[in-house]
Amino acid sequence: MTSARTVLVFGLYLLLVGLGLALAPDSVLELLRLPPAQDFWPRIVGVLALVLACYYFVAARANLLPLIRASVFMRFAVFGLFGTLVILKLAPRELNLVGLVDFAGALWTAFALKRERAA
């Protein structure tokens, strides 16, 4: 699997999450065992996820290696930052589930990039 393909799959994940949060935030929050939305912020996060999904689709389609490489670092950072928020009790531990998806996606892309460099 190419690094571009891994980023495309991650973009699809972001598309689904973004649509879910933008259109039916309580359904997504319930899946993550998070409290229901009390205001508009989950919808804003959903729109931002949709924007990121678009960037991931463009990066995958054009095989934009600088952006693909940067995504690895940033998705590892999301994992670490979400974990930090949980440790500091500034976010519920369920946020770690989202961070784990980012971590797994980053790892998958990193391995694909390593295979491509070796080839």
Determine the structural domain holding residue 93 and report its residue range. Answer: 3-118
pLDDT for 99: 96
Contact 22, 47 (CB under 8 A): yes
In this predicted model, what pLDDT tens digit does every residue of 42-52 receive, in sequence order? 999 999 999 99
pLDDT for 63: 97
9: nearest Cα among 65, 46, 44, 59: 59
State the total domains in the chain: 1
Distance CA 14, CA 92 (A): 21
Distance CA 72, CA 90 (A): 25
In this predicted model, what pLDDT tens digit does every residue of 67-94 receive, in sequence order? 999 999 999 999 999 999 999 999 999 9
Distance CA 83, CA 97 (A): 10
Q: What is the mean pLDDT of the chain?
A: 96
pTM across the whole model: 0.93
Compute the average pLDDT of residues 103-107.
Answer: 98
Compute the average pLDDT of residues 27-35.
Answer: 91
Distance CA 33, CA 93 (A): 10
Using DSSP's 3-state secondary structure scheme, residue 108 falls into helix
